[in-house]
Amino acid sequence: MTVAGLCKRVSSRGFTLLEQGFALDARPHAVSDVRGRVKAVSWVHDSSTSLMIPSLPKVDDYLGLVRSQNYSFLMQDGAAVQILYQYDGAQITRHRLLYWPCPFDAVEVFDYEIPVIDVFETLFLENVRTEAILRGLLRFDFAPDDAGELHPPSHLTLAAPDCRVPVHAPLSFDTFMRFLLENFYPQAWMDKKVKAHLAFAQETNCLRVEDNQRVHLAWQYG
């Protein structure tokens, strides 16, 4: 898939989730130059806004992300999704695919016709000790240039900064969306319009010998 094709695909999937009522917001995505032939695909954002999230994020980090719309999609339950890929030609060289559950049990309040950040700041912050639900974020990283001992080229970070579960390949966007929807949003996964244009091809295995001997994530498409 070309970089431009991926960019269009990510934006389209987000707007379909929004249209079908499974997301509160979806951001357009754009292609940017990194160096030489290397290009990146990410959501449109203010260039002064950091795309990184602290290893041990606080409630204020989540609220800042929502306030600045620093995400690809904001799901119906307030969870944030970030999609960032880097390509050299047609080959994925890096990615960061993040799922950050909402720290508030806030599903019911989204019937209000006011911005979601106002819902959080007016209804929850005063009672944050009783209303906040601390659920760990999931982040799939592919960074072969940074690989080292206990740092697989492709890995899933969860619960703690040093917890890097080996993943057998970089995830295509469609594979990541399948993982996300099947495991957290089964109603969206069963929606024909959401599911219609997802296509799956086996990614290239990047597990090293030492990673293959650890508990790791793998999948197979027929």
List the domain range (segments joined by +) for residue 152.
3-212
In a domain, 158, yes or no: yes
Cα dihedral across residues 52, 6, 10, 44: positive or negative: positive
In a domain, 19, yes or no: yes
* pLDDT value, residue 108: 58
In a domain, 22, yes or no: yes
In a domain, 44, yes or no: yes
Task: Work out the pLDDT band at 129, boundaries 50, 70, 90.
Answer: low
Count up the domains in the chain and report the number: 1
In a domain, 219, yes or no: no
* pLDDT value, residue 126: 72
In a domain, 217, yes or no: no
Percent of the chain with pLDDT over 90: 61
* pLDDT, tens digit (0-9, with 9 covering 90-100), for 38-96: 999 999 988 777 777 877 788 888 989 999 999 999 999 899 999 999 999 888 999 99
* pLDDT, tens digit (0-9, with 9 covering 90-100), for 101-124: 988 876 555 555 667 788 777 777
pTM of this prediction? 0.82
* pLDDT value, residue 106: 61
In a domain, 220, yes or no: no
In a domain, 78, yes or no: yes
Lowest-confidence range among 111-115, 160-164, 181-185, 200-204? 111-115
| HEC string for the chain | CCHHHHHHHHHHHHHHHHHCCCEEEECCEEEEEEECCEEEEEECCCCCCCCCCCCCCCHHHHHHHHHCCCCCEEECCCCEEEEEEEEECCEEEEEEEEEECCCECCHHHHHCCCCHHHHHHHHHHHHHHHHECCCCCEEEEECHHHCECCECCEEEEECCCCCEEEECCCCCHHHHHHHHHHHHCHHHHHCHHHHCCCCCCCCCCCCCHHHHCCCCECCCCC
